[in-house]
Amino acid sequence: MKAASFDYVRASSKKEVLQLLHEHGEDARVLAGGQSLMATLNMRLTQPKVVIDINRVDELNRIRNESGHLAVGAAVRQVQLTDRAELAREVPLLARALPWIGHFQTRNRGTVCGSVAHADPSAEIPLCLVTLGGTVVLESLKGKRREVPAADFFQGLLTTDRKPGELISEVRFPLAEDGTDYRFQEIAMRHGDFALVALALCLRADGAHLGVGGVADRPVAQTLPLGDDLPDALNTLAWSLGAQDDVHASAAYRRQLVRELGQRLIEEPSHARPR
Amino acid sequence: MHAPAEQRTEIELELNGETRHGRAEPRTQLCDFLRHDLGATGVHVGCEHGVCGACTVLVDGVASRSCLMLAVQADGRRIDTVESLARDDVMNDLQQAFSRHHALQCGFCTSGILMSCVEFLQRVPAPDEAQVRDMLSGHLCRCTGYTGIVRAVLEVARQRQSGESQQNASEKPYDV
Candidates B27, B32, B56; nearest CB to A105: B56
Tell me phi and psi for residue B48, to 5 degrees: 60, 20
In a domain, B176, yes or no: no
Provide the terminal-to-terminal Cα distance of chain A, rounded to the nearest Å.
Answer: 45
Chain A contact for B80 (CB, 8 A cutoff): no
CB contact under 8 A, A6 and B27: yes
Chain A contact for B22 (CB, 8 A cutoff): no
The reported pTM is 0.94
Residue in A with minimal Cα distance to B3: A8
In a domain, B1, yes or no: no
| B110 and B72 co-located in one domain | no
Q: Beta A146-149 vs A154-156: how paired, if at all?
A: unpaired
| B120 and B164 co-located in one domain | yes
| B75 and B144 co-located in one domain | no
A183 touches A128 (CB < 8 A): no
CB contact under 8 A, B50 and A4: no
In a domain, B19, yes or no: yes
Q: What's at B7, amino acid-wise?
A: Q
Measure Cα distances from A221 to A96, A109, A210 in Å: 17, 28, 5
Residues 6+ apart with CB under 8 A from A196: A122, A186, A187, A188, A189, A214, A248, A249, A253, A254, A257
In a domain, B3, yes or no: no
Type and span of the H or E element at A160:
strand A159-160
In a domain, B147, yes or no: yes
Domain that residue B34 falls in: 9-84
CB contact under 8 A, B27 and A191: no
Give the domain-ending residue among B84, B111, B133.
Answer: B84
DSSP category for residue B37: I
| B80 and B98 co-located in one domain | no
Q: Measured between beta carbons, which residues in chain A are less than 8 angstroms from residue B32?
A: 2
Angstrom distance (rounded) from CA B41 to CA B82: 9
In a domain, B116, yes or no: yes
pLDDT per residue as tens digits for the range A72-88: 999 999 999 999 999 99
Measure Cα distances from A7 to A4, A53, B11, B54, B153 in Å: 10, 11, 16, 27, 42
Residue B76 is part of a domain; what is its CATH number?
3.10.20.30
| B113 and B162 co-located in one domain | yes
CB contact under 8 A, B4 and A7: yes
pLDDT per residue as tens digits for the range B34-47: 999 999 999 999 99
pLDDT per residue as tens digits for the range B117-153: 999 999 999 999 999 999 999 999 999 999 999 999 9
pLDDT per residue as tens digits for the range A29-54: 999 999 999 999 999 999 999 999 99
A26 touches B21 (CB < 8 A): no
Give the domain-ending residue among B84, B101, B134.
Answer: B84
ipTM of the complex: 0.93
Going residue by residue through chain A, which has 275 residues, state the pLDDT in tens, using 9 for 90 and above.
Answer: 899 999 999 999 999 999 999 999 999 999 999 999 999 999 999 999 999 999 999 999 999 999 999 999 999 999 999 999 999 999 999 999 999 999 999 999 999 999 999 999 999 999 999 999 999 999 999 988 999 999 999 999 999 999 999 999 999 999 999 999 999 999 998 888 899 999 999 999 999 999 999 999 999 999 999 999 999 999 999 999 999 999 999 999 999 999 999 999 999 987 644 44
| B107 and B153 co-located in one domain | yes
CB contact under 8 A, A39 and B68: yes
CB contact under 8 A, B27 and A43: no
Residue B62 distance to chain A (closest CA, Å): 7
Residue B70: closest CA among A9, A57, A74: A9
Type and span of the H or E element at A28:
strand A28-31
- How many A×B Cβ pairs under 8 Å? 110
Residue B136 is part of a domain; what is its CATH number?
1.10.150.120
B44 touches B83 (CB < 8 A): no
| B108 and B165 co-located in one domain | yes
Report DSSP letters for A170-219, one per residue. EEEEEPPPTT-EEEEEEEESSTTSPEEEEEEEEEETTEEEEEEESSSSS-
Number of domains making up chain B: 2
A153 touches A138 (CB < 8 A): no
| B142 and B101 co-located in one domain | yes
| B15 and B42 co-located in one domain | yes
Give the domain-ending residue among B84, B104, B125.
Answer: B84
Neighbouring C-beta atoms of residue A133, cutoff 10 Å: 15
Helix (H, G, I), strand (E, B) or coil at B134: helix
* Domains of chain A with CATH codes: 7-53 (3.30.43.10), 58-174 (3.30.465.10), 181-267 (3.30.390.50)
| B13 and B64 co-located in one domain | yes
Residue A4 distance to chain B (closest CA, Å): 7
Helix axes B129-136, B110-123, angle to 10 degrees: 130
| B112 and B148 co-located in one domain | yes
CB contact under 8 A, B68 and A43: no
Residues 6+ apart with CB under 8 A from A21: A28, A30, A52, A140, A141, A164, A165, A166, A167
Angstrom distance (rounded) from CA A82 to CA A111: 12
Candidates B32, B68, B135; nearest CB to A104: B135
| B47 and B79 co-located in one domain | yes
In a domain, B15, yes or no: yes
